[in-house]
Amino acid sequence: MLMLSAIIGVSTIIVFSVFSEAQLEPKVFVTHSGQIISTSGDVLDPLYTASTVEFDPEKYLRDFNYGRISESKNGQTVREFTIIAEDDKIQEISPGVFYNVWTFNGTVPGPTIRATEGDLVRIHFINNGSKSHTMHFHGIHPAEMDGVFEAVGPGGGQFTYEFEAGPVGVHPYHCHVMPLEEHISHGLYGVYIVDPKEGRPLADEMVMVLNGFDTDFDTENNFYAANSIPFYYQHHPIQIKTNELIRIYVVNMVEFDPINNLHLHGNLYNYYPTGTSTVPSTYTDMITLSQTERGIMEFKYDYPGKYLFHAHKVEFSEKGWVGIFLVDDNLDQKSQTGIDYEN
């Protein structure tokens, strides 16, 4: 009887030991920054072990697509863009967390489309996805260009959107196929900027799309970010110069949450709702935005140092929507952005 108990005890220990080793076996992933991560923790969706989307928030921040430019017979500037929708991409949202993103031109957000008021904008839209998709632009255009009732079929369906750029300001575009929340929450959105004919004062310009990701599909976001990667601008601060005008086109595309906001530390900014007026509506350090609400922020920093910007809805900032401006007296903007601000 004593011998039998000993055998049972040893067997139990052996089985428990094997189970623990299997449970702790590390999994290896490559993050968005190229860092190799080894983790023994759970992976949200074990089917996703590699990204098919490479998204660089630093590049996206100052990347504007002005299209292929030509002139019509009547002298109007024509800007042509090709936008391709896909819904089979995988992106690593956070180390070890992979998510099925739906993309315009391979990224979330899609490209920042830019034109001048009065230009003819022509969008060649191709749907290479497995579901119907459209492009709906906020702004002014004919009904047949609204991207709501003209669903473009999957597997290569095409449609050409054509309209005159206007009004001046910053506007979102997004898929408008039902269920709408599914198409937006998976990433089918981007930014459309219409510049005034007389231009705006010279500035270091950036785009920030505020977004969130519901990675466990319970209609509550698990991650929040400015430009898709949580905490990115905290770990990779945005470098700017003292006393230089900063202009940020900010668009809130968070699904499932009724509001979002943006608080700037150590400063206040002029805010232009929707950007349709060249006169700011307020001078503040925080704005609150509903979904697709947007505007333009303008400010300068007088003093060098590190300054936070983040959602003052604290849950959002703790889940990734936080960043840092690194303000420098002697920053060589040409080396940082490739733009020569001296000429």
Three-state SS string over 167-219 comes to CCEEEEEECCCCCHHHHHHCCCEEEEEEECCCCCCCCEEEEEEEEEECCCCCC
* Residue percentage of the chain with pLDDT more than 90: 78
pLDDT in tens, 184-198: 999 999 999 999 999
**pLDDT for 49 beyond 80:** no
Residues facing residue 121 across a β-bridge? 79, 163
pLDDT in tens, 71-117: 999 999 999 999 999 999 999 998 888 899 999 999 999 999 999 99
pLDDT in tens, 280-310: 999 999 999 999 999 999 999 999 999 999 9
Which pLDDT belongs to residue 26?
A: 61
Which pLDDT belongs to residue 330?
A: 81
pLDDT in tens, 214-242: 999 999 999 999 999 999 999 999 999 99
Least confident span in 1-5, 150-154, 270-274: 1-5
- Can you tell me the distance from the alpha carbon of 124 to that of 179, in angstroms, rounded to the nearest whole number? 24
Q: Which two tokens stand for residue 319?
A: 């889940």
Structural domains for the chain: 57-337 (2.60.40.420)
Q: Which two tokens stand for residue 77?
A: 């500037």
Which pLDDT belongs to residue 46?
A: 39
Residues 6+ apart with CB under 8 A from 185: 212, 213, 214, 255, 256
**pLDDT for 200 beyond 50:** yes
The pairing of strands 223-226 and 204-213 is antiparallel
**pLDDT for 334 beyond 60:** no
- Can you tell me the distance from the alpha carbon of 215 to that of 47, in angstroms, rounded to the nearest whole number? 13
- Of 311, 265, 263, the closest CA to residue 286 belongs to 263
| 231-237: long-range contacts, CB 8 A cutoff, minimum separation 24 | 231/320, 231/322, 232/32, 232/57, 232/58, 232/323, 233/57, 233/309, 233/322, 233/323, 233/324, 234/322, 234/323, 234/324, 236/57, 236/58, 237/306, 237/323, 237/324, 237/325, 237/326
- Of 340, 273, 264, the closest CA to residue 300 belongs to 264
**pLDDT for 7 beyond 60:** no
Which pLDDT belongs to residue 1?
A: 46
**pLDDT for 39 beyond 80:** no
Which pLDDT belongs to residue 41?
A: 52
**pLDDT for 50 beyond 60:** no
Are 343 and 326 contacting, i.e. CB atoms less than 8 angstroms apart? no
Which pLDDT belongs to residue 177?
A: 97
**pLDDT for 276 beyond 60:** yes
Average confidence score pLDDT of the chain: 87
